């Protein structure tokens, strides 16, 4: 597996990471299977996919607890990222809470669940306009000083919030949704990352399955049921784009997923996608994308295809959209 530098930290991580959200949470992408999830983590080690991403809200802590089975005996081989900022709302959902007074407790709880002494990359999961970015990042920086965290990151932050955060403490990474289906970061967020020396870590780089031309029958608890892009009429509207991607991938002898990931890697040297999966076979397919070198002609064809078929449908419902790029 090739590596890429994380921001300007001097730390290199696998060019493609592993999103672990679905491993211990039925609400993410259908029923979870602990045995298969653990097998996926072991296969990640074998493939040198060493950047693992989780969060305290995934499974309300269960995801971090699952990861420790493989993380602890292999601590020196894994670069572990986790996030804080969402809390249970008492009604089965979640709310944002990034107040400085709770950040240290959130970090300690994650460390306990993960059974480790230090988190490699600690993200604020969302920006709350009611909490000054400087105050939040200042509290996060105290965790670095205490040796509990190595590097800091933000998730779904605007360019303005990035600049305010970076002026308070070095920011290594910004995690945001970015794929051929979601490209809003290209306007000003990606340029801000480039300006500030911050790695962009795209989550859902395969459009939550849409870019792989997979049309799953969604489980009752699958979070995609709440997303406008997964409506039947929207799927029909986006079908020509998916079909065009499949055709280009087949011409290159690769999968659509590999084409989509290779396209992301080609956008900037400090982009580090974290495709999520809980199955070894998909991990293997995704990891192979790091070795796909797209030509100028490939990129031109993809640019023309994307221009010809604008994506239809919002990535989140109205409420969730209010929490992104703030």
DSSP states of 40-100 as a string?
Answer: HHHHHHHTT--EEE--TTGGGGHHHHHHHHHHGGGGGG-EEEEEE-EEE-SSSSEEE---H
178 catalytically annotated: no
How far is the C-alpha of 282 from the C-alpha of 285, rounded, in Å?
5
Residue 92 predicted with pLDDT over 70: no
Would you list the domain boundaries of the chain? 3-321
pLDDT of residue 48: 98
> Is residue 211's pLDDT more than 90?
no
pTM comes to: 0.93
> Using an 8 Å Cβ cutoff, are 302 and 260 in contact?
no
Contact 250/221 with Cβ under 8 angstroms? Answer: no
Residue pLDDT, tens place only, 177-186: 999 999 999 9
230-277: pLDDT as tens digits: 776 676 888 899 999 999 999 999 999 999 999 999 999 999 999 999
Q: Which residues contact 154 (CB under 8 A, 6 or more apart)?
A: 123, 124, 127, 161, 162, 165, 171, 173, 174, 175
Pairing assessment for the beta strands 3-5 and 12-14 based on DSSP bridges: antiparallel
Q: Which residue has the tokens 């078929």?
A: 309
Pick 322 or 261 by higher pLDDT: 261
Give me the phi and psi of 147, to 5 degrees please. 80, 10
Do the strands 149-155 and 173-177 form a parallel or antiparallel pair, or are they unpaired?
parallel
Say whether domain 3-321 belongs to CATH 3.40.50.620.
no
SS3 for 155?
strand
Q: 69, 71, 180, 54: which is closest to 122 by C-alpha?
A: 54
Angle at which helices 62-71 and 34-46 cross, to 10°: 50
Catalytic one of 58, 122, 123, 178:
58
Tokens of 17: 């990471």
Q: What is the pLDDT of residue 41?
A: 98
Distance CA 98, CA 95 (A): 10
Whole-number average pLDDT of the chain: 92
pLDDT at residue 302 greater than cutoff 70: yes
In the chain, the percentage of residues whose pLDDT exceeds 90 is 79
- For residue 101, the model assigns a pLDDT of 96
Poorest-confidence range of 47-56, 91-100, 150-159, 247-256?
91-100
Q: Rounded to an integer, what distance in angstroms lies between the CA atom of residue 254 and that of residue 243?
A: 14
Tell me the pLDDT tens digit for each residue of 156-182: 999 999 999 999 999 999 999 999 999
């Amino acid at each position: 597996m090739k590596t890429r530098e994380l921001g300007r930290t001097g730390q290199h991580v696998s060019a493609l990471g592993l999103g672990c959200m679905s491993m211990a949470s039925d609400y993410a992408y259908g029923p979870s299977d602990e045995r298969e999830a653990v097998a996926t983590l072991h296969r990640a080690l074998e493939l040198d996919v060493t950047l693992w991403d989780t969060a305290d809200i995934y499974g309300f802590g269960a995801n971090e607890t699952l990861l420790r089975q493989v993380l602890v005996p292999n601590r020196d081989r894994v670069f572990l990222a986790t996030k804080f900022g969402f809390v249970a709302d008492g009604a089965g959902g979640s709310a944002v809470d990034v107040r400085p007074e709770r950040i240290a407790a959130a970090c300690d709880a994650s460390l306990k669940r993960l059974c480790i002494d230090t988190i490699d990359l600690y993200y604020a999961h969302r920006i709350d306009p009611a909490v000054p970015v400087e105050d939040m990042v200042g509290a996060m920086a105290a965790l670095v000083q205490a040796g509990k965290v190595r590097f800091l990151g933000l998730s779904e932050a605007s360019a303005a919030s990035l600049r305010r955060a970076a002026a308070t403490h070095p920011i290594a990474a910004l995690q945001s949704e970015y794929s051929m289906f979601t490209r809003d970061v290209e306007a000003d967020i990606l340029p801000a990352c480039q300006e500030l020396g911050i790695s962009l870590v795209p989550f859902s780089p395969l459009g939550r399955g849409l870019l792989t031309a997979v049309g799953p029958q969604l489980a009752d608890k699958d979070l995609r049921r709440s997303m406008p892009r997964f409506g039947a009429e929207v799927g029909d509207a986006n079908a020509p784009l998916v079909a065009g991607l499949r055709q280009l991938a087949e011409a290159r002898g690769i999968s659509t997923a590999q084409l989509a990931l290779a396209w992301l890697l080609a956008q900037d040297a400090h982009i580090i996608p974290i495709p999520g999966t809980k199955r070894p076979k998909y991990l293997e397919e995704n990891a192979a994308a790091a070795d796909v070198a797209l030509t100028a002609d490939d990129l031109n064809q993809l640019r023309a295809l994307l221009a010809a078929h604008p994506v239809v449908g919002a990535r989140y419902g109205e409420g969730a959209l209010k929490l992104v790029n703030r």
